[in-house]
Amino acid sequence: MKKRPITAVFGTSKILGFDYGKYPLHDFISFAYAGKETNGHPFKLLAAGNDYWHRECLRQRINSNVFAIEFVCEGTFLFKQFNKTTRIKAGEIFLVQLGENNSIRCETETASKRTVTMAGTLLRRILEQFGLDQISRVRLTDQQRFDELFDELQQYGEEQTLSSYRKGCATCYAMLHELSAQCAAMVRPPELQRALEYIHENLSDKLSIDKLVRHTGTSSATLHRMFKKYLHASPISYYLDQKMEKAFSLLHANIYSVKEIAAKLKYSSPQYFATEFKKKYGNSPKNYFSSKNA
Q: Are residues 52 and 165 in the same domain?
A: yes
The answer to whether residues 276 and 141 belong to one domain is no
Q: Looking at the structure, do residues 204 and 157 belong to the same domain, yes or no?
A: no
Rounded to two decimals, what is the model's pTM? 0.73
Domain span holding position 72 = 3-186
Handedness of CA 30, 33, 39, 41 (dihedral sign): negative
Domain count along the chain: 2
* Residue where a domain stops, chosen among 168, 186, 204: 186
Statement to judge: residues 155 and 204 lie in one domain: no
Q: How does pLDDT run along the chain (294 residues), one tens digit per residue?
A: 899 999 999 888 999 999 999 999 999 999 877 665 545 567 899 999 999 999 999 999 999 999 999 999 999 999 999 999 999 999 999 999 999 999 999 999 999 999 999 998 889 889 988 889 989 999 988 899 999 999 999 999 999 888 899 899 999 999 999 998 887 645 678 898 889 889 988 998 889 999 999 999 999 999 999 999 888 889 999 999 889 888 887 887 677 889 999 999 999 999 999 999 988 888 888 887 665 544
The strand order across the sheet containing 13-20 reads: 3-10, 13-20, 58-62, 102-106, 76-81, 84-89
Q: Give the pLDDT confidence of 158-201 residue by residue, as tens digits.
A: 998 888 998 999 999 999 999 988 876 456 788 988 898 899 88
From 118, 152, 186, the end of a domain falls on 186
Same domain, 94 and 159: yes
CATH number of 226's domain: 1.10.10.60
- Does 76 share its domain with 215? no
Phi, psi of 197 (to 5 degrees): -60, -40
One-letter amino acid of 240? L
Query: What's the CATH number where 20 sits?
Result: 2.60.120.10
| Residue 207 Cα to chain centre, angstroms | 25
Tell me which residue of 65, 4, 60, 45 sits closest to 248, measured CA to CA.
65
Residues 172, 199 share a domain: no
* Same domain flag for 107 and 243: no
Residues in contact with 118: Cβ distance below 8 Å, sequence separation at least 6, in sequence order: 43, 44, 45, 46, 66, 67, 68, 69, 172
> Looking at the structure, do residues 196 and 175 belong to the same domain, yes or no?
no
Pair (198, 125) in one structural domain? no
Strands 13-20, 92-96: pairing is unpaired
> Nearest-5° angle of CA 285, CA 289, CA 290?
110
Domain final residue, candidates 186, 212, 237: 186
Whether 175 and 213 map to the same domain: the answer is: no
- 124 & 176 share domain: yes
